[in-house]
């Protein structure tokens, strides 16, 4: 099974977000042990670095990115993804880009806490807890 992990799920774990970290960590573990194949957008990487640089130095961030690349496949960002995303009727362009990438890699699901943001996606969006139930 292939899943595209939304940026907020990654940040739940990295920032230890109390209300969300438990299920998001389970998704990480499923990807780490290769029970599922987890993908994250290259766009997510830039957002993660932007958020984390307020708290951590670049050396520590580099170590975190290295670990993420061992757990997840990074989906490259292509011009066609950006163009397709621009044609989608999403409120948030970043979500549209992730949806376009999920479609391109033929992901089974997009894992997110914001299901409504992906209502127009060709790839079904589910919460981490739903993924855990389906495994």
Average pLDDT rounded to a whole number, residues 110-125: 96
Q: Residue 78 to residues 97, 113, 117: CA-CA distances in angstroms?
A: 10, 25, 22
Q: How confident is the model at residue 37 (pLDDT cuts 50, 70, 90)?
A: very high
Q: How confident is the model at residue 43 (pLDDT cuts 50, 70, 90)?
A: very high
For 2-128, CATH gives 3.40.50.1010
**Which percentage of the chain shows pLDDT scores above 90?**
96
- Alpha-carbon gap, residue 68 to 100, rounded angstroms: 21
pLDDT in tens, 44-91: 999 999 999 988 899 999 999 999 999 999 999 999 999 999 999 999
Kindly tell me the sign of the dihedral angle through the C-alpha atoms of 7, 72, 34, 32: negative
Residue spans of the domains in the chain: they are 2-128
pLDDT in tens, 82-108: 999 999 999 999 999 999 999 999 999
- Alpha-carbon gap, residue 77 to 33, rounded angstroms: 26
Q: Scanning the structure block, which residue is given the tokens 């997110």?
A: 112
Task: For helices 21-32 and 58-71, give the axis angle rounded to 10 degrees.
Answer: 60
pLDDT score for 57: 92
What are residue 43's DSSP bridge partners?
Answer: none
């Amino acid at each position: 099974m292939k899943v595209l992990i939304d940026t907020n799920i990654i940040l739940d774990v990295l920032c230890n977000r109390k209300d969300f970290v438990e299920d998001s960590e389970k998704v990480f573990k499923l990807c780490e042990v290769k029970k599922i194949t987890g993908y994250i957008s290259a766009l997510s990487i830039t957002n993660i670095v932007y958020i984390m640089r307020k708290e951590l130095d670049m050396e520590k961030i580099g170590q975190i990115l290295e670990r993420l690349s061992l757990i997840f496949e990074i989906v490259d960002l292509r011009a066609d993804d950006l163009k397709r995303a621009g044609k989608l009727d999403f409120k948030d362009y970043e979500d549209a880009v992730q949806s376009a990438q999920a479609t391109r890699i033929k992901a089974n699901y997009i894992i997110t806490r914001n299901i409504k943001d992906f209502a127009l996606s060709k790839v079904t969006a589910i919460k981490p807890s739903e993924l855990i139930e389906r495994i």
